[in-house]
Amino acid sequence: MHTQLTRRLALLTQEEHRPLLSQGLRGIERETLRIDPTGKLAASAHPIALGSTLTHAQITTDYAEALLEFITPTDNDIATTLEKLNTIHRVAYSALGSEMLWSQSMPSILPAEADIQIAWYGKSHIGMLKHVYRRGLALRYGKAMQCIAGIHYNYSLPEKLWSLLKREEDVSGTEQDFQSESYIALIRNFRRYSWLLMYLFGASPALSRCFLQGRDHQLERLSEDTLYLPYATSLRMSDLGYQNDAQSGLRPQENSLENYVKTLSDAVSKPYPPYARFGIKNSEGEWIQLSTNILQIENEYYSTIRPKRVIRSGERPIQALCGRGVQYIEVRCMDVDPFEPIGINLETSRFLDVFLLFCALDASPAISAEESREQAANFALTVKEGRRPGLSLLRQGEAIHLQEWGQALLAKMQAVAELLDQEHGTDSHARSMQAQLQKLQDATLTPSARVLQAMGDHGDSFHRFGLHQSEQHAAYFKANPPNAGESRYFKELADSSLAETAKLEQEQTGNFDDYVAAYLASSLCKSLP
């Protein structure tokens, strides 16, 4: 019997169509904390030599002032993307002085909440909007949560591939709608199987005791300064991460783009009483959050994957999706790999390409409320107990061992890996698949297990292990400084970003209150009921 996957693979195997597989785009966003030589959170401002965090295209900050975010330009080959990410790291180190980049997803030693600085973007209206949004995040989730780092993997397939599938499968409607709904179908399959990524690549089984200061938890003590769970894969992606009561019931329906957008539109317009008690300004008249709604803006929704479109100036993400459809997806669940200087390697990236193409090509039926709960439970169980011997998940209501299901999925993906290798003239996708199979056969090979084993060499201390890895990575980057051309290019980027920010501040008109009101008023898709 020919399945959708086999039919689509057969089509793409044809010589005239196979080049489409190398025409999609890949991009990576890597978050990383700046730390001082002792491993404590850096208290300094963003280095001016790296430019303006508001307008620099490749080097900015995320939530906290010390949380750097490196954004690569997109490329057809992820190997080139990783080279670009390496260059950004080397450039950053040329401006860090004695500071280093923290090697883990979970933060280093944090100061008191009041001393964690929220990211600053200058005094322009758009810069202040980004800052106030982060004030709201601190109010709602706490500042420690703003120091968690991850790897975001941006992935797209060429529009010509979607057009080919639409034509061959004789699907009615516009090409934009078919492409959007195909990406939404990819997301549904991702939710079905993303527990596998947590098992294979989760790298945060432990964290610093100070991170959970004053919070209830069920973690075990590993050492004086370290908490963990013995079989955890990614505590970052557990309920210890970016979660709260307001978002706990927010599950956008990804059975269509319209359902997804409507759910988020409702969340950014529906007041949430606990946030309403804070108000939007403090007693001194300073803004403390953008709104009192469930979400201030749609980006506040913490999801493992998002449908995305490059936005225009002043445009909201929801508007972009409504008006022009889905352009790519952003995978947000990947931990920073503490054994890799840039936080991710080529083997992992090749597997992600196989996994995401499989999710795009395979049949993806609508998700019922029951299946949605099952998916969430599988993910939650894997991040906390993924390496537990004999662990079972639920597949369509029936228990199945994690290893058995994982190996069955890899078997289905094998043809996808072979097709990508044919197009790239390599065996790197197949080799990555073999490495993942070995992890399923031997849990000690997973990053989470390797982290715990390596921590044993540092007194079972999360901090000492993290600092050791950070020092090794710093030595690597400092031994490979940017060349003259790279330094000149990034200096031009930094200088132009500073000039652009200064121009925004000098030329803006009106007041901030009106700017926020206008921005928030544009959040809803007018075409939605």
356-399 pLDDT, tens digit per residue, is 999 999 999 999 999 999 999 999 999 999 999 999 999 999 99
> pTM for the whole thing?
0.96
Residue 214 has a pLDDT of 76
Instruction: Determine, yes or no, domain membership for 529.
Output: no
Specify the length of the chain in residues: 529
Dihedral of the alpha carbons of 402, 219, 149, 201, in degrees to the nearest 10: -20
State the Rg of the chain over Cα.
Answer: 23
How open is the CA angle 313-316-318, to the nearest 5 degrees? 140
| Sign of the alpha-carbon dihedral angle for 331, 335, 340, 341 | positive
Closest Cα to residue 137, out of 128, 129, 146? Answer: 146
Instruction: Determine, yes or no, domain membership for 291.
Output: yes
Long-range contacts, stretch 218-225, CB < 8 angstroms, 24+ apart:
222/455, 222/460, 222/462, 223/459, 223/460, 223/461, 224/461, 225/461, 225/462, 225/463
- pLDDT tens column, 211-253: 988 788 899 999 999 999 999 999 999 987 655 566 666 666 7
Which are the contacts of 84, defined by CB distance < 8 A and separation ≥ 6? Answer: 72, 73, 75
Q: How many domains does the chain have?
A: 1
Question: Is residue 341 a contact partner of residue 473, using CB atoms and an 8 Å limit?
Answer: yes
Q: How far is CA 229 from CA 51, 144, 238, 254, 415, in A?
A: 40, 20, 11, 32, 36
The 3-state DSSP class for residue 221 equals strand
Residue 65 has a pLDDT of 97
- Count the Cβ atoms, other than its own, within 10 Å of residue 164: 18
Instruction: Determine, yes or no, domain membership for 527.
Output: no
- pLDDT tens column, 190-220: 999 999 999 999 999 999 999 988 788 899 9
Residue 248 has a pLDDT of 63
Half-sphere exposure of 32 (CA within 13 A, CB side): 33
Instruction: Determine, yes or no, domain membership for 135.
Output: yes
Band of residue 527 on the pLDDT scale cut at 50, 70, 90:
very low
Question: Is residue 208 a contact partner of residue 110, using CB atoms and an 8 Å limit?
Answer: yes
Band of residue 312 on the pLDDT scale cut at 50, 70, 90:
confident
Closest Cα to residue 83, out of 331, 349, 305, 336? Answer: 349
Tell me how far apart the alpha carbons of residues 384 and 337 are, in angstroms, rounded to a whole number. Answer: 18
Band of residue 526 on the pLDDT scale cut at 50, 70, 90:
very low
pLDDT at residue 523 greater than cutoff 80: no
- pLDDT tens column, 250-303: 666 789 999 999 888 889 999 999 999 999 999 999 999 999 999 999 889 889
Tell me how far apart the alpha carbons of residues 385 and 232 are, in angstroms, rounded to a whole number. Answer: 5
Instruction: Determine, yes or no, domain membership for 526.
Output: no
Q: How far is CA 444 from CA 25, 97, 103, 378, in A?
A: 33, 37, 21, 21
Question: Is residue 375 a contact partner of residue 367, using CB atoms and an 8 Å limit?
Answer: yes
Dihedral of the alpha carbons of 377, 380, 384, 385, in degrees to the nearest 10: 30
Q: For all residues of the chain together, what is the average pLDDT?
A: 94
Instruction: Determine, yes or no, domain membership for 377.
Output: yes
Residue 319 has a pLDDT of 87
Closest Cα to residue 308, out of 260, 361, 350? Answer: 260
Closest Cα to residue 145, out of 225, 216, 239? Answer: 239
Question: Is residue 234 a contact partner of residue 335, using CB atoms and an 8 Å limit?
Answer: yes
| Residue 284 DSSP one-character state | T
| Sign of the alpha-carbon dihedral angle for 195, 197, 201, 204 | negative
Pull the structure tokens for residue 489.
Answer: 């290019």
- CA–chain centroid gap for 93, Å, is 23
Half-sphere exposure of 175 (CA within 13 A, CB side): 11
Structural domain containing residue 270: 4-521
Instruction: Determine, yes or no, domain membership for 342.
Output: yes
CATH number for the domain including 310? Answer: 3.30.590.20
Residue 247 has a pLDDT of 67
Give the ranges where 238-307 is alpha helix by DSSP (H).
245-248, 257-267, 273-276
Pull the structure tokens for residue 137.
Answer: 């995040």
User: Which residue bears the tokens 């503490």?
Assistant: 338
How open is the CA angle 53-68-515, to the nearest 5 degrees? 35
Question: Is residue 37 a contact partner of residue 90, using CB atoms and an 8 Å limit?
Answer: no
Residue type, 257: L
Question: Is residue 192 a contact partner of residue 394, using CB atoms and an 8 Å limit?
Answer: no
pLDDT at residue 529 greater than cutoff 90: no
Band of residue 524 on the pLDDT scale cut at 50, 70, 90:
very low
Q: What are phi and psi of 388, to 5 degrees?
A: -65, 125
Closest Cα to residue 357, out of 275, 299, 424, 296? Answer: 424
